[in-house]
Structure 1
Amino acid sequence: MLPALSDIALDQLFHEARTHRWWQDRPIPEETLRSIAELAKLGPTSANSSPGRFVFVVSREAKERLKPHLDEGNVRQATSAPATVIVAYDTEFYEKLSTLAPNNPGARSWFAGKPDAIERTGFQGSCLQGAYLIMAARALGLDCGPMGGFDRKGVDETFFPNGKLKSNFLINLGYGIPEKLHPRQPRLALEEFCAIA
């Protein structure tokens, strides 16, 4: 049995973790971004399909390419963040199942030529993998600001012109400015979102 995490770790991952929108002018080392991705890839996905794809937008040129596709209210927070991750999914993820799911030799046939199954598994899996990325970033001492306010078609045409990848959501990463945080928004009471049957 695994031991429970310490209260300090739980605070960093959950209790004190917040959505940040204001960032210190402090770059994230590339090695840290790579470590985040290496951790995030370890989380489970359906049939180990691992459809999520991450683009870490860090350069001035890449940020300028992203900027026109952001909702107006998200421009400042994304352009000032040291990194913005485009969380996307590969619509041909099943082509890697011979490597990722060797215990299921027929796994490719579950998806190939089945657009509904591809869309469901790709979207679902990339949501999970994006959440794993948030937790990995927090575990390594970064703050996060996930957001959905952007033009997906524009991002896809700009960053994924071959049409194989589809964007899902964005995550700003960096070192937040605690003084700029608003009070935590309310959460539902346990009984309002949870049942134990």
Structure 2
Amino acid sequence: MNAPTGAELEKLRAQAQQEHRDLRARVARLGAGEIDLILRKARSHYAWTDKPVDDALLHEIFEIMINGATSMNTCPARIVFVKSAEGKERLAQALKPANQPKMMGAPVTAIIAHDLDFWKNLPFLFPHEDRRHLFEGKAEHIAQTAFRNGTLQGAYFMIAARALGLDVGAMSGFSNQIVDATFFAGTSLRSNFLCNLGYADESALFQKLPRFEFQDVCSFA
């Protein structure tokens, strides 16, 4: 893919700038209800109804998530949607016993992973200049970049799912090594965390746990 230059580049830049101005004019900020839905009043869920999650909704989540910012547009996140009984049984082997029923009861469990070969796609994702040399042969830098930006994309994924009316329950009580050996053997993918998706059974909720106040964890410099 060739990067635009000259007049074509200037036209594309002007279009992007105007699109942003138009968006800000149309939507200055989200309302209180929308913010409550995606973060402020949102909860992590552990029990689920049997209402299925349509594949079209998973596609829509991805289409929202993939537009979130990543360093140099690296987009290292990769997702496996575990829906089948066979897939659930395989995944269950990696989970701590207490987490197995949470996953087995969810209509969908997303394995949020990242691709250590993400940098090989930079000519497509970042066509302005070839920056593969910044990563080639630099395993630690590759791993840090993939993990950091893949984690960002995992957070975008959760917010997008909530924005579309789904409930989520992220989990880290599992063996990454077993997940990688089971689902990603022989590939450049590595698992990060799991995220259950569906329509929650609220009867399993308890009170929301405390959060810090601004002055407890924020400062100015």
TM over 0.5: yes
1:145 aligns with 2:174: no
The answer to whether residue 55 in structure 2 is matched with residue 55 in structure 1 is no
Q: 2:156 matched to 1:115?
A: no
Deviations, residues 14-43 of structure 1 (Å, cap 9, x unaligned): 122000000001110000011111111110
Q: Which residue of 1 aligns with 2:44?
A: 19
For 2:111 and 2:120, the matched residues in 1 are separated by: 22
Identify unmatched segments of 5+ residues in structure 2: 1-23
Match in the other structure for 2:127: 102
Match of residue 131 from structure 1: 155
Larger Rg: 2
Residue 112 of structure 2 corresponds to residue 87 of structure 1: yes
Q: Deviations over 1:128-177 (max 9, x none)?
A: 00000000000000000001011111100110011310000000111011
* Aligned match of 2:12: none
Give me the whole-angstrom Cα distance separating, in 2, the residues matched to 1:39 and 1:196: 32
1:189 corresponds to: 213
1:6 and 2:1 correspond: no
Q: Which amino acid aligns with 1:125?
A: N
d(CA) in 2 for partners of 1:14, 1:66:
28
* Partner Cα distance (2:161, 2:65) in 1: 9
* In structure 2, distance between residues paired with 1:96 and 1:185: 41
Q: Give runs of ≥4 in structure 1 deviating > 4 Å.
A: none
- Conserved in 2, the CA contact under 8 Å of 1:157 and 1:163? no
Q: Which runs of 5+ in 1 are unaligned?
A: none
**1:196 shift after superposition:** 2.9
User: How many residue pairs are counted as aligned between the two chains?
Assistant: 196
CA distance in 2: counterparts of 1:71 and 1:192, whole angstroms: 33
Q: Distance in 2 between matches of 1:116 and 1:51?
A: 15
Report how far residue 192 of structure 1 moved: 1.6
TM-score calculated relative to the size of structure 2: 0.86
1:158 correspondence with 2:182: yes
**1 CA distance for matches of 2:83 and 2:108?**
5
